[in-house]
């Protein structure tokens, strides 16, 4: 599949998908508290998404069994909600969610601190969010995709963090995953040139320690190899001739 340029009609639908997803994330963030299970979070997320008349895009995607990916502490992404996994004060919890509104996708992730967390964890969450904003400073028609990727990596590495290279962001639209891949690390190739009307999911996944990750036996959950904490921050954005529009952030 090649990279598509969205029409005004498609952009309007993706704006609405993004607006709804931002509301879902806000509500989930406000609901999080110690004692909840990761399955409680998934159930609430699915209910919120369906309440907006949307479809949770992750549910049954390649067999993924839930609507919200809930990844705790050293889990990087794609954690599977579980009724036995209780979240505790001091945990950091990454929530990744996707919605389909009238055939169009939005995809976004946030990492939350549960109660008081260590200063190290707090910094990781903040810097991972900042990585996204550093990256999208270059998300502009005429620039190269690699400009976004390089900026994310450079910013994370200033803090000594490990940038996860085994997973990448992606184009998004009438499918959750479209071309191009959007790495969080520089490549030797500059990648495609960005053009107005492209829609991308930019999603830094950053480890306090080494960049290496491992897959668990459930074939989904990705963890840091060294057991260090990991954070994730993602939004669906629209490339324009000026500043990018962040569709999944209100």
Size, binding site for ligand MF3 by CB under 6 A:
11
Which of 74, 77, 68, 60 shows the shortest CA–CA distance to 32?
A: 68
Asked if residue 46 binds ligand MF3 (CB under 6 A), the reply is no
Measured from the CB atom, the residue of 81 and 117 that comes closer to ligand MF3 is 81
Contacts with 214 (C-beta within 8 Å, 6 or more apart), sequence order = 222, 223, 224, 225
Distance (Å) of CA 53 to CA 30, 78, 102, 228:
21, 24, 9, 38
Residue 69 interacting with ligand MF3 (CB under 6 A): yes
Q: Does 98 bind ligand MF3 (CB under 6 A)?
A: yes
Contact flag: residue 222 with Co ion (CB under 5 A): no
- Residue 116 CB coordination number (10 Å): 10
Which residue from 107, 134, 147, 178 is in contact with Co ion, where contact means CB under 5 A? 107
CB of 220 to ligand MF3, least distance (A): 7
Binding ligand MF3 by CB under 6 A: which of 52, 64, 133, 159? 64
- Residues between 133 and 192 with contacts to ligand MF3, criterion CB under 6 A: none
Burial of 68 (0-12, 13-18, 19+ CB in 10 A): buried
Q: Which is nearer to ligand MF3, 118 or 216 (CB)?
A: 216
Q: How many CA atoms lie within 13 A of 40 on its CB side?
A: 13
Does position 97 bind Co ion by CB under 5 A? no
Q: Helix, strand, coil: what percent of the chain each, to 5?
A: 30, 25, 45
How many residues of this chain bind Co ion (CB under 5 A)? 2
- According to the binding rule CB under 5 A, does residue 201 interact with Co ion? yes
With binding defined as CB under 6 A, does residue 96 bind ligand MF3? yes
């Amino acid at each position: 599949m090649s990279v598509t340029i969205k029409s005004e009609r498609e952009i309007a639908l993706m704006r609405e998908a993004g607006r709804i997803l931002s509301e879902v994330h806000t509500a989930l963030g406000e609901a999080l508290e110690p004692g909840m299970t990761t399955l409680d979070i998934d159930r609430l997320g699915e209910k919120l998404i369906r309440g907006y008349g949307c479809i949770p895009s992750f549910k049954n995607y390649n067999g993924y069994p839930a609507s919200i990916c809930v990844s705790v502490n050293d889990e990087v992404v794609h954690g599977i909600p579980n009724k036995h996994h209780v979240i505790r004060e001091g945990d950091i919890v990454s929530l990744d969610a996707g919605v389909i509104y009238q055939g169009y996708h939005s995809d976004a992730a946030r990492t939350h601190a549960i109660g008081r967390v260590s200063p190290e964890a707090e910094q990781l969450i903040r810097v991972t969010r900042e990585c996204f904003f550093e990256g999208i400073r270059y998300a502009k028609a005429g620039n190269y995709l690699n400009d976004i990727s390089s900026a994310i990596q450079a910013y994370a590495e200033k803090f000594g963090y490990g940038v996860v290279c085994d997973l990448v962001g992606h184009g998004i639209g009438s499918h959750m995953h479209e071309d191009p891949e959007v790495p969080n690390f520089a490549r030797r190739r500059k990648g495609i040139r960005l053009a107005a009307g492209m829609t991308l999911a930019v999603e830094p996944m950053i480890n306090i320690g080494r960049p290496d990750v491992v897959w668990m036996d459930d074939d989904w959950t990705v963890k840091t190899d060294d057991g260090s904490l990991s954070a994730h921050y993602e939004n669906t954005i629209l490339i324009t001739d000026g500043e990018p529009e962040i569709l999944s952030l209100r």
